[in-house]
């Protein structure tokens, strides 16, 4: 459906517009507080500036923070997804192609990974190694590989029986070469679509970790961190939670619509 695509595009334009244009051109500082201008509601003037989305507990402009926060969150989520996707795809291909005990081992790891609620695992690890931007990316990246591995493995199992791969094997090409030269291109598209479908999960996960106060350290804003900080003030300044929440919703809806569209277009119903 074309309408889905249009909605997704509009939402993405809004989100990306905010996270690119605001940090570049919006004059107000996302980090530095003006202590005399705390909790100004949206569209109010304070200190000679208009605050379209209001200010927070330290008098910082929410639009400036939302712009930077969205950029940082998307950065975290993208990098983490790529780590997950690469890790999962490689392990999945290996499992599918080699079979046997390698397959069994990797698939048990997948089960294990899926058997601990993500959020619990992430809390545990962040509590151990301490919260920071890098740690968060690594933890989100490492804990998300399992789905990619499952799909990559299933796809590899199909692909390896294809004629030209059999013939590549027959002429004695090295296994790893076959894997990356012939198998990988075949599963690249479904893995990319899977990534699009998995992004919403990560966006919400990152927000949840931030909500529990274990995300990126202040004063750096992230979508999750903004809601996490804002919730303490939610009863008197609901905009602090409202707008970051809407941004999350917009991103998730856009990814879902886009993902579904990609699934239909590439005929990948098994995802």
Partner 1 sequence: MLRYLLIRAGQGLLVLFGVSAIVFFSLFLTGDPAAVMMPPDATTAEIASFRHAMGFDQPIWIQYLRFLGHALTGHFGDSLRYQQPALSLLLQRIPATALLALTALAWSSLFGFVFGIIAALRQNSALDLTIRVVSLLGQAVPVFWLGLLMIIVFSLRHHWLPSSGMGTAAQLVMPSLSLGAYYFAAITRLVRASLIEALGQDYVRTARAKGLSEWRITVRHALRNALIPVVTVQGMYFASLMGGALITEIIFAWPGVGRLAVEAIQTRDFTVVQATVLFSALLFVVVNFLVDIAYVWLNPRIRL
Partner 2 sequence: MKVSAAFALTVALVATAPAAWSQEAKDQLVIARAAGTTAMDPGFLRESATIVDNIFDTMVERDSQMKLEPGLALSWKSINPTTWEFKLRPGVKFTDGEPVNAEAVKFSLDRVLNPDNHAPTISYIRTISKVEVVDPMTVRITTSGPDPLLPTRMSRYPAYIVPPKYLKEHGRDYFASHPVGSGPYELEKFVPGQSVELKANDDYWRGAPSIKTVTFKTIPDATARTTALLNGEADIIEDLPVNLVPMVQASPNDQVVDVKNGGLTIYLGLVMSQKPLDNLKVRQALNMAIDRKTIVNDILHGMATVSGTQVGKFDFGYTDIPAPKYDPAAAKKLLAEAGYPNGFTITLESTHRYLNDDAVATAIAQMFGDIGVKVKQKVLDWSVYLQEVPRKGPIFMLGWGSTQTLDADAAIYPIMHSGEPYSTASIPELDKLLDKSRKIVDPSKRAEVLKQVQELAAKDVPLITLYQQDAVYGKAKDVVFSGRADARIPVYTIKKQ
By beta-carbon proximity to partner 2, the closer residue of 4 and 29 is 29
Does the protein bind partner 2 through residue 236 (CB under 8 A)? yes
3-state secondary structure of 55: strand
Region of 23-31, 107-115, 152-160, 174-182 interacting with partner 1 (CB under 8 A): 107-115
Q: Is position 145 an interface residue for partner 1 (rule: CB under 8 A)? A: no
Q: Interface mask (CB under 8 A) for partner 1, residues 52-91, using x and -?
A: ----------------------------------------
Residues 56-75 that bind partner 2 (CB under 8 A): 57-59
CB atoms within 10 A of CB 12: 17
What tokens appear for 60 in the block?
């910082």
- Work out whether 7 is an interface residue with partner 2 (CB under 8 A): no
Binding of residue 44 to partner 2 (CB under 8 A): no
Distance, CA of 205 to CA of 110 (rounded, Å)? 19
CA-to-CA distance for 184 and 90, rounded, in angstroms?
9
Q: Binding residues for partner 1, how many (CB under 8 A)? A: 39
DSSP string, 33-70: --GGGTTPPTTEEETTEEETT-B-TTS-BHHHHHHHHH
Supply 190's token pair. 């479904």
The tokens for 157 are 């199992």
Q: How far apart are CA 224 and CA 202, in angstroms?
A: 11
**φ, ψ (nearest 5 deg) of residue 44:** -105, 155
Q: Tell the smallest beta-carbon distance from residue 231 to partner 2 (Å).
A: 6
50: β partners: 45
Where along the sequence are the contacts to partner 2 (CB under 8 A)? 31-33, 35-36, 38-39, 57-59, 127, 130-131, 213-214, 217-219, 229, 231-237
Please report, as ranges, the residues that interact with partner 1 according to CB under 8 A.
Answer: 108-109, 111-112, 114-120, 123-125, 127-129, 200-201, 204, 207-208, 211-212, 227, 231, 234-235, 238, 241, 245, 248-250, 252-253, 256-257, 269
């Amino acid at each position: 459906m074309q309408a889905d695509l249009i909605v997704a595009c509009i939402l993405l334009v809004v989100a990306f517009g905010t996270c690119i244009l605001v940090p570049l051109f919006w004059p107000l500082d996302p980090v530095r507080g003006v202590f005399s201008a705390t909790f100004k509601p949206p569209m109010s003037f304070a200190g000679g500036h208009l605050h379209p989305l209001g200010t927070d507990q330290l008098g910082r402009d929410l639009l400036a923070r939302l712009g930077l926060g969205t950029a940082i969150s998307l950065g975290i989520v993208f990098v983490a997804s790529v780590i997950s996707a690469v890790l999962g795809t490689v392990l999945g291909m290996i499992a599918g192609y080699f079979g046997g005990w390698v397959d069994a081992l990797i698939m048990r790891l997948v089960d294990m990974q899926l058997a601990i609620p993500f959020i619990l695992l992430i809390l545990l690890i962040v509590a151990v190694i301490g919260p920071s931007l890098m740690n968060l990316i690594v933890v989100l990246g490492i804990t998300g590989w399992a789905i990619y591995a499952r799909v990559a493995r299933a796809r590899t199992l199909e692909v390896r029986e294809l004629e030209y791969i059999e013939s590549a094997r027959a002429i004695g090409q090295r296994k790893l070469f076959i894997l990356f030269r012939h198998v990988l291109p075949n599963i690249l598209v479904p893995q990319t679509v899977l990534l699009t479908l998995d992004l919403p999960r990560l966006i919400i996960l990152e927000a949840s970790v931030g909500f529990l106060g274990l995300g990126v350290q202040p004063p750096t804003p992230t979508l999750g961190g903004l809601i996490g900080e804002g919730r303490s003030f939610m009863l008197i300044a609901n905009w602090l939670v409202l707008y970051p929440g809407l941004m999350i919703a917009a991103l998730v809806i856009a990814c879902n619509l886009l993902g579904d569209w990609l699934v239909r277009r590439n005929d990948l119903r098994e995802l």
